Amino acid sequence: MPIFITLLNWTDQGVRDYKDTPKRYEVFSAALQKLGCKLLNIYWTVGPYDIVVILEAPDDETATAALLQLGGVGNVRTTSMRAFGREEIDRIIAKAAG
C-alpha cells in the first residue's frame, strides 16, 4: 500500500489543548482503521513542524479523505507527501529510462 508522510502544525485550537494530543492520536488511529488505512508511526517534533505522521493507505483518495477528516476537526493543518519505497522507485526509474 502507498505510504504518506504528513507534516502537521497545531492550530491555535490545537496548541491550546496540547494536553489532549495523546487522546487525539488514539482517535485519529481508529478513524484511519475505519478507512482501511494504517498509522505506521507518529512523532511529536521540535522545529518548523509539531508532529510527523507516517501512514499507509490503499490509495491517494483514501489518504486524502483521512487527512481531510483530521484537518476538519480543527486542531492541525497538514502538509502531505507520497513516499516511495525502494522497489517502487526502481520501477519508476525503469519507466523513466524507457
Reported as a single tens digit per residue, the pLDDT across 44-87 is 999 999 999 999 999 999 999 999 999 999 999 999 999 999 99
What pLDDT, on a 0 to 100 scale, did the predictor assign at position 98?
82
Model pTM score: 0.89
Residues in CB range of 48: below 8 A, 6 or more apart: none
CB 66 within 8 A of CB 56: no
Question: What is the SS3 assignment for 33?
Answer: helix
Question: What is the SS3 assignment for 9?
Answer: strand
Q: Which residue has the cell 488514539?
A: 26
What pLDDT, on a 0 to 100 scale, did the predictor assign at position 59?
95
Helix axis angle, 60-72 to 21-34, nearest 10°: 150
